Amino acid sequence: MTDKTAEKSKKTISKTKTADKLSSKEKKMAKAITQLEEKIQELESELLDQQQRVEAAEEKMLRVVAEYENGKKRLEREKERSLAFAKDKVFVGLFPIIDNLERSARFDSDEDSDSQKQGTRLVLEQIKKYMMDTNGIEAFDPLGEDFDPDIHEAMAMRESEAYDSGKIIEVFEKGYREGDRILRPAKVIVSQ
């Protein structure tokens, strides 16, 4: 109940006590005013309650919208990760094929081997160009570099007079990277 309403109610009650000579019509009006003031108080209380409910509902709605947006972003990130994983899996499957083509290109068996080697080299170059053009994937040959366990996989260690200790003296399989990300570490022999 507002201060003004309470004041009016007190004045009305005090007037009814002091004025015993009120007519029945005036008494009915005073009673009606009192009832109306009580009804106003009830309505004000209900209005305040409804306003609080609306505010709570708005807050809940904002939280639900924020959760939806976060879920949508999370789903998009997961989708990108899944696509990257699937793409990587395809390219990782190509690496052994490339390794075998490179090995076969090194061997001489007869006079036709030059044309065979040339054909193998053309296929290899085409595959490597495709990987580089479509996804920026490139091979790296770390021969002579310092051994780094983040990008190399040591297959063995061997004494070497030509290389200092910790240097890569032979490469079994080249490594592959996409930008800074290593898709396959290079398999190497390291000098002792």
- Top pLDDT among 18 and 87 is at 87
Radius of gyration of the chain (CA): 43
For residue 143, the one-letter residue type is: L
* Cα(96)–Cα(53) distance, integer angstroms: 65
Q: What is the pLDDT of residue 37?
A: 94
Within 13 Å and on the Cβ side, how many CA atoms surround 156?
Answer: 7
Mean pLDDT score, 25-54: 93
Domain that holds residue 23: 1-135
Q: Please tell me whether residues 131 and 144 are part of one structural domain.
A: no
Mean pLDDT score, 101-105: 75
Question: Residue 178: which CATH number?
Answer: 2.30.22.10
User: 169-180: buried (b, 16+ CB within 10 Å) or exposed (e) per residue?
Assistant: bebebbbbbbee
Q: Please tell me whether residues 85 and 179 are part of one structural domain.
A: no
pLDDT at 8 over 80: no
Model confidence at 70, pLDDT cuts 50, 70, 90, reads very high
Question: Edge to edge, what strands does the sheet with 181-184 contain?
Answer: 137-140, 175-178, 181-184
Q: pLDDT digit string (tens) for 108-135? A: 555 566 777 777 788 888 888 888 887 8
Mean pLDDT score, 137-150: 92
